[in-house]
Amino acid sequence: MDKTITLSVQNTPLSEVVAYFARQLSINVVLDHESLTEKGIATDTPVTLQLQQITARSALELLLRPLMLSSVIDNEVLVVLSTARETQRFISRTYPVSDLIGPNEDFQVLMTMLETSTSGLRLDRDGEGVR
């Protein structure tokens, strides 16, 4: 997903643009038809986007965001799905971090570092999903 690509599409069906990503990145890409249908998005929805020398990750984000779509890696396949379905797939994981905080056990420093240096969907301190 870090490969630099150029994308130039004008009223091109979403399924064709997704196939372009699959070819450019030599990966399997699948449209989650069920979640797209739930949001009223057809695979032949026309998309227009002009991008030069941008990472595939960023290009895909810019392509999908206006349609309220997202992508996730699932079983070695890039899956394009609705943002609502992505939120449902959210998995919480717990990791031991005591070796990262030092002798003062200042968890606040670690929390701030994680919140400012990571991206993607996560739960805020009140349990609500935020980006």
* pLDDT at position 70: 86
Q: Compute CA distances 37 → 34, 42, 69, whole Å.
A: 5, 7, 12
Going from the N-terminus, what domains does the chain have, and what CATH number goes with each?
Answer: 4-88 (3.55.50.30), 98-130 (no CATH)
* pLDDT at position 119: 65
* pLDDT at position 13: 93
Mean pLDDT of all residues in 18-31: 88
Q: Indicate if the pLDDT at residue 46 is higher than 80.
A: yes
* pLDDT at position 16: 92
Rounded to two decimals, the pTM is 0.61
* pLDDT at position 92: 63
Q: Indicate if the pLDDT at residue 129 is higher than 60.
A: no
Sheet (strand 69-74) strand order: 29-31, 77-82, 69-74
Q: Which of 29, 40, 31, 87 is nearest to 67 (CA)?
A: 40
* pLDDT at position 117: 77
Q: Indicate if the pLDDT at residue 1 is higher than 60.
A: yes
